């Protein structure tokens, strides 16, 4: 079960419920993926609504790994979310809000 006070969310991917969390290590992984951009730059990028499919894969993958799930970005790319692209976007938005705004 996800603990909102720790920045965790719950999401269903490919029919399985997962907990996702952007830990400090997961955030460092995202910084590296975005060419060393700092956390503020990454947050601003997503606040501006610039979220592509590869962004969703990276963020969801980092969140899954941050919560202790052993999964590669390639495996995340093959997962399905209820609602299709909108479902993936919803997971990304909820995870970023839980991390940067303390919301779920």
pLDDT 10s digits, 26-76: 999 999 998 877 888 888 888 888 889 999 999 999 999 999 999 999 999
What is the pLDDT, as a whole number, of residue 38?
Answer: 85
Residue 8 banded pLDDT, cuts 50, 70, 90: very high
What is the pLDDT, as a whole number, of residue 103?
Answer: 63
Cβ distance 63 to 34 under 8 Å?
A: no
Q: Can you give the length of the chain in residues? A: 104
Residue 102 banded pLDDT, cuts 50, 70, 90: low
What is the pLDDT, as a whole number, of residue 47?
Answer: 83
Phi, psi for 78 (deg, rounded to 5): -90, -5
What is the pLDDT, as a whole number, of residue 36?
Answer: 79
pLDDT tops 70 at residue 104:
no
Give the whole-angstrom CA distance, residue 24 versus residue 54.
21
pLDDT 10s digits, 76-88: 999 999 999 999 9
Question: To which residue do tokens 């609504």 refer?
Answer: 49
Stated as kind and residue range, the H or E segment containing 74 is helix 73-77
């Amino acid at each position: 079960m996800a603990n909102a006070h720790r920045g965790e969310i719950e999401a269903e991917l490919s029919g399985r419920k997962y907990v996702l969390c952007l830990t400090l290590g997961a955030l460092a992984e995202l910084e590296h993926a975005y060419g060393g951009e700092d956390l503020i730059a990454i947050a601003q990028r997503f606040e501006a609504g610039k979220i592509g499919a590869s962004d969703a894969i990276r963020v969801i993958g980092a969140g899954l790994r941050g919560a202790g799930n052993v999964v590669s970005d390639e495996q995340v790319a093959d997962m399905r979310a209820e609602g299709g692209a909108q479902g993936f976007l919803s997971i990304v938005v909820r995870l970023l809000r839980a991390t940067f705004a303390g919301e779920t």
